[in-house]
Amino acid sequence: MVEQREVPDGYHVHVNGGGLVEDTAHVEDTVYIGPDARVFGNARLCGDVIVYEYVEVGGDAEVFDNAQIYGNVKVFGNAKVLDNAVVFGEARVFGNARLSGNVKVSGNVKVYGNAEVSGNAQIYGEARVFGNVKVLDSARVSDNAVVFGYAKVSGNAEVYGEARVFGEARVFGDSEVFENAQVYGNAEVCDTSQIHGDAKVCDTAQIYGHAKVYGHARVSDNAVVSGNAEVSDYAEVSGNAEVYGYAKIHGNAQIYGYVEVCGYARVSGNAKIHGNVKVYGNSQVSGTAKVSGIERSDGYTFIYVTCSDGVMRVIAGCRYFTMEEAYAHWESTRGGTKLGEETIGILESLKVLSKLRPEGCV
């Protein structure tokens, strides 16, 4: 003898699959509702949707097209699951969240607020995506990562670990934000760059190319880190500073103002570089060095720093000379002019100051 199933008041057994559907809900006959699933409230399910196991769909939620939901998932509020989206595990989708395209949402994920997940994006693990966030294309958000506010993660970008992306930040390309890193404000992280450790990228800072920011480093304001450059440890890059090429900033170094650090330059220790300075080549600024240079009347800033071969060099614009070479160059090109006299005076000052400073850099 077949045991008759008890049907609560106001519910009926769905014709396709045998799941429970509240009379207020709208479920088309083409929709499969498994025997342990439940649809209630004003939910609407249409098309070739498949819902099974212990799923609950309620409120004003809409599930259309070829979407599949299974496991212990709950979809409610005004959430929409559309197209070929797949939701499984213990996931929660609610508020005004919208899942579309070929997305996959699984694990103990929560997607809510006005969040949009589309394309081939994947959200899994214990991740949370909420606010007005957009996760698009083939982007992935996983582990315990949180993306919120008006942030956008797209392309093949990955946000994972304990990472946070929020504000109006953009993470795209093949970039990765992971461990305890934070990207926020209007910051942009793209290409194959990596932000990890306890690093922070904020304000309108940009990280691109193959650049890496990690450790407890901070890149802020309008700073740009690109190429194969690295900023690590407790280093800070801010203002309108640019770090690119194969340059490395580490230790407790601070780079700010309109500084450019590029080539194979290294800045470390407690060094500080600021002003309108360009440090490049094989320059090495370390220890407690403070580099701001001396600005010539036409805007050129002259600095005097140690390079990887142990030789002190004068750097001004694209000029990269030993002190002897510097004298010879400007005497031959500017000799007999006021600008030439000013330049020789700057070189003399650099020599004197380098002897008075512990690290020798000016």
Q: Summarize the confidence of residues 32-53 as an average pLDDT.
A: 98
Q: Summarize the confidence of residues 124-151 as an average pLDDT.
A: 98
Query: Which pLDDT score is estimated for 1?
Result: 37
Q: In the chain, what percentage of residues exceed pLDDT 90? A: 75
Query: Which pLDDT score is estimated for 2?
Result: 41
CB 33 within 8 A of CB 50: no
Q: Summarize the confidence of residues 106-113 as an average pLDDT.
A: 98
Q: In the chain, what percentage of residues exceed pLDDT 70? A: 98
Query: Which pLDDT score is estimated for 81?
Result: 98
What average pLDDT does the structure give for the chain?
94
Q: Summarize the confidence of residues 67-73 as an average pLDDT.
A: 98
Query: Which pLDDT score is estimated for 133?
Result: 98
pLDDT exceeds 90 at position 47: yes
Q: Summarize the confidence of residues 271-280 as an average pLDDT.
A: 88
pLDDT exceeds 50 at position 219: yes
CA distance 337 to 212: 45
| CA–centroid distance for 18 within its chain | 46
Q: Summarize the confidence of residues 285-314 as an average pLDDT.
A: 83
Residue 123 banded pLDDT, cuts 50, 70, 90: very high
SS3 state of residue 321: strand
Residue 4 banded pLDDT, cuts 50, 70, 90: low
pLDDT exceeds 60 at position 211: yes
CA distance 347 to 325: 11
Greatest CA separation found in the chain? 114
CA distance 187 to 213: 13
Residue 319 banded pLDDT, cuts 50, 70, 90: confident
Question: How many CB atoms within 10 Å of residue 15?
Answer: 11
Residue 109: closest CA among 121, 120, 123, 97: 123
The owner of tokens 């006959």 is: 29
Backbone angles phi, psi at 223, to 5 degrees: -65, 150
Q: Summarize the confidence of residues 147-173 as an average pLDDT.
A: 98
CA distance 118 to 240: 35
pLDDT exceeds 60 at position 3: no
Q: Summarize the confidence of residues 322-332 as an average pLDDT.
A: 90
Of the listed ranges 99-103, 109-113, 355-359, the least confidently predicted one is 355-359
CA distance 263 to 253: 17
Query: Which pLDDT score is estimated for 68?
Result: 98
Residue 37 banded pLDDT, cuts 50, 70, 90: very high
Query: Which pLDDT score is estimated for 308?
Result: 76
DSSP 44-76: EE-SS-EE-TT-EE-TT-EE-TT-EE-SS-EE-
CA distance 38 to 54: 7
Query: Which pLDDT score is estimated for 360?
Result: 60
Question: Which residue would you say has higher pLDDT here, 274 or 224?
Answer: 224
Backbone angles phi, psi at 327, to 5 degrees: -60, -45
